[in-house]
Chain A
Amino acid sequence: MSGDTDRRAFVLGFVAATFAAALRPGAAEAAGGAIKDQPWAVWDKNDKPVRGGYFRVAAEQYIGKMNPNHWPVNDWVSMGYFHERLMFNDGQYKPTVPWLAESVKFEDPKTVLMRLREGVTFHDGSAFDAASIKYQMEWIKDAKNQAWTLGMMAPLESIEIVDPLTLRWKFKQPWAAFNGVMTNVPGYALSAKALQADGDKYDIDPKGTGPYLLEEASPGNYLKLKRNPNWWFAKASGHPDMPYFDGIHVSVIPDPAVRLANLRAGKIDALTLEKSQYAAVRNDPNLNIYRFPGNHTAGLRFNTTKGVFQDIRLRKAVSHAIDRRALIAGTQFGLARIASCIFPGDHWCHNPELKPVAFDPDLSKKLLAEAGHANGLTVKGYYPNTAIGQTVAEAVRNMLGKVGITWQVDLLAPAQSATRMREADYDLATGGWTWVFDPDPTATGLYHPGGGFNFGRSKNDQVIALVEAGRQEIDLEKRKQIYWQMEKVLYDAYEDAWLWWDETVVAYRKQVQGWKNEGFMKYRDAWFWAHPLWFKDGKQ
């Protein structure tokens, strides 16, 4: 995926958590147990949360449709308030934390036994149980319901109800990404009763199990949510007052400078900052600012199947010509880490032995000469026409220019970029991936012939074989080794020029209590949802 990193980072990025202890090496299962006993659910004894107030946030776009399986969804943050997922990823983005599912166990590579939590109800009062999940998955798989997620569920053959809270999932082939898919969109639990009654109405009247219910929607303007007094997690965790806010007000504010003005004026309570805004607010006495690694790899994509970049020497020449440190300092305001490959540095599938490609313009010139381009090379491509996109493109163009590579880069709107990508009409273009959770979508999307971002531009047989192997291997340790190997092959082949891994900055008004960077960094999503924020004294 590309694009809206910061926006989704705010809450959806809180995907994840724990169970490192419970996860036996080699076992692709997520063991459950009482919520109170989970490390990600432990509370600091000094914290005394109180109820009250409406938490006000801003979104760049209105949510769109509120059934996550119906496109478009423009605001996944709010989606997370209505709907909860069966599974979460842990701090390393490994899909091992059962949330609405209590436990998940692979009986064999083609069969999974899933136990659901007891005592969970949907916002319409219907029960969350095996029958509701079975109905939902069959609803997604029925083409007439136009779920864009249908393809994600393609490996599913059938679901059997073992008992009211237990399901047996059967697959057509080994499906290693199953847990990952359950942390993704198909894993959002939707009320079967509501879907049955009117699937289209669900788009504007969602019925999930989440901590907030839809109170009022003003498309294009705002979304108002109210507290779910029957949120199962409050009871299960022994914190009956959860969630602590009376509601949430999501205002649509497209302009980042105006979002910041709203935060500084006290009109909103939290904001994911643009990187350029960080310096302006870092010492603001009214705000608490937190920085943490994001889950986005930025890079440049080579067309390795046609044109000059079929020659690895020229791909190397480009990659070594880029001063990544300077690029991060100059275009990302220092808020990023140098990337060495496609999976982020803190992702369980990132090969830690890979070091960032060295900045070596002399080597680039030598490689160009060896490839017969001593007098210079001209390549074409595109980059997003956003303000930051223009800055990055210009910086890279200059760096390449210094070694004799002329990058004729077109700055394009998303629709135009998409066409160029689909037609593989470029030598070097914007690349990377936003939201790297289960490794398969990223690996497939970029490097497999069937991937939604490939379109024939990359065809590395070794990588393709590893991608396919990774889909089948349910043993997490072995699967990790496959992706480490895949990264090594990509790295050695200079398949792309990876630039940086993002860093996210969020700002909260001092009145907002409860955020702890350490807890979030360790357990991500599971910690976030298990530790709802509150207002000091319960007042905005």
Chain B
Amino acid sequence: MGRFIGVRLLHALVILALVTVLVFIIAQLMPGDGVLAAMAGSIDMSDASAVERVRKQYGLDQPILVQFGDWLARFVTGDWGTSIGGGEKVYDMFMRRLSPTLELFLGATIWSIGIGIPAGIIGALKRNSAVDVALTTGTMIGVSIPAFWEAIMLIYLLAVIFPILPPSGYVPFFEDPWLNIKSMLLPTFVLGTHSAGLLARYVRSSLLEVLGQDYIRTARAKGFSERAVIVLHALKPAMIPVVTVIGLAWAHMLGGAFFVEVIFAIPGLGRMSVDAIFQKDFPVMQATLIAVTLNVLLVNLLVDILYGYLDPRIRVRR
């Protein structure tokens, strides 16, 4: 297992290096003048030379290779540059925004697992019953509902009509734990709903498939209770595709996080990265895309390790 993890980590490093170069090339190929665009929306533009001065300030007047070399040399020493759109140090921005996003991901995953797995199990056990139909309908709604619409509706319902929760905003946990939990309830729920629906569908079909296996029939024939059959024999193998879904959902959450962070005014990485792309804010783009890549690579690695735990045959084959 140790060797396996080592090899995967090495792969991850190679991919990371490739992504770094690719992101830089793509950023250069993207049409648009971020400095001019941002300044035009912010200040008096009668003086065209103001744009040139700002370009110089950020080193954007240098040849592309020089820019890349400078960026890389500084990046590895922890100096991730300065945001063109926000004027802050990218490293500081990144670190400050990491915590809200992680909290959002974690909360969404809890919602996703907390709703998706029980719904899937109940759906499988009560197959074709009214409960199953209701759950299937619920999960379909969860999968298909647009996140921004769901968010706005929930805000109006639970913050304006019935003012139970704050409409938006973020308060760090260590500053005010109760307010933090209250302010994160809606965003995590919205982000978690989509993957919860997906998860429930996967759990249901996976569990149904496992429940049809010979060894389950054997277990039942041996006289195990239905609870024991499901918990001890069916659930663990049924979780293999589910782990994949959880891993994929986590990796793709950043896309959903953008909407959620914008709508709920959470100062996280999702909002920061998409703003950076629109503004052609290269230092921020580079840092966040590397973080996204790392996130995907690490989650994939974790999923692979979990496969081995859930299915010893996979471990042995390796």
Residues of A within 8 A of B (CB): 1-4, 62, 64-65, 70-74, 143, 146, 148-152, 154, 184-185, 203, 218-222, 251-255, 257-258, 261-262, 264-267, 413-419, 421-422, 435, 440-442, 444-445, 450-453
Contact = CB atoms under 8 A, between A and B. Distances in A.
A451 B36 CA distance: 13
B86 A64 contact: yes
B131 to A, nearest CB: 35
A145 to B, nearest CB: 10
B209 to A, nearest CB: 42
Interface stretch (B152-160, B224-232, B240-248): B152-160
A355 to B, nearest CB: 28
Contacts of A266: 163
A1 B264 CA distance: 29
B262 A255 contact: yes
B87 A152 contact: no
Interface string B142-174: 000000000010011001100100111110000
Contacts of B87: 64-65, 70-72, 203
Interface string B94-124: 0011000000000000000000000000000
B267 interface: yes
Contacts of B167: 258, 261-262, 265, 267
The 6 residue pairs across chains A and B that have the minimum distance between CB atoms: A415-B32, A3-B41, A220-B267, A441-B46, A452-B45, A414-B37
A442 B46 CA distance: 7
Interface stretch (B51-59, B133-141, B296-304): B51-59
Interface in B29-50: 30-34, 36-50
Given A1-B44, A251-B265, A418 B32 contact: yes
Given A1-B41, A146-B57, A414-B37, A451 B48 contact: yes
Contacts of B163: 265-266
> Interface residue tally of chain B, by bracket?
35 or more
Contacts of A421: 36
B219 to A, nearest CB: 52
B119 to A, nearest CB: 29
A452 B48 contact: yes
Nearest to B259: A255
B211 interface: no
A220 B272 contact: yes
A257 B159 contact: no
B168 A262 contact: yes
B272 A452 contact: no
A252 B262 CA distance: 10
Contacts of A2: 40-41
Given A220-B97, A267-B168, A416-B37, 5 more contacts: A72-B84, A148-B54, A149-B50, A220-B93, A266-B163
Contacts of A414: 32, 37-38, 40-41, 278-279
B271 interface: yes
A394 to B, nearest CB: 21
24 contacts: A62-B267, A64-B86, A64-B88, A71-B39, A146-B53, A148-B53, A150-B53, A151-B49, A154-B47, A184-B44, A203-B87, A219-B88, A219-B92, A220-B96, A221-B170, A253-B169, A255-B263, A267-B166, A267-B167, A415-B34, A416-B37, A417-B37, A418-B33, A451-B48
Contacts of A222: 169
Contacts of A258: 152, 155, 167-168, 263-265
A445 B51 CA distance: 13
Contacts of A146: 53, 57
A415 B278 contact: yes
User: Considering residues B36, B163, B170, which has the most beta carbons from chain A within 10 angstroms of its beta carbon?
Assistant: B36
Contact of A221 (B31, B47, B53, B267): B267
Given A219-B96, A264-B160, A418 B42 contact: no
A418 B37 contact: yes
A262 B152 CA distance: 12
A185 B42 CA distance: 12
B81 interface: no
Contacts of B57: 71, 146
Contacts of B160: 261, 264-265
Contacts of B30: 415
B80 to A, nearest CB: 15
A504 B150 CA distance: 29
B85 interface: yes
B51 A74 contact: no
Contacts of B272: 220
B259 to A, nearest CB: 9
User: Considering residues B42, B51, B152, B155, which has the most beta carbons from chain A within 10 angstroms of its beta carbon?
Assistant: B42
Nearest to A154: B47
A213 B17 CA distance: 45
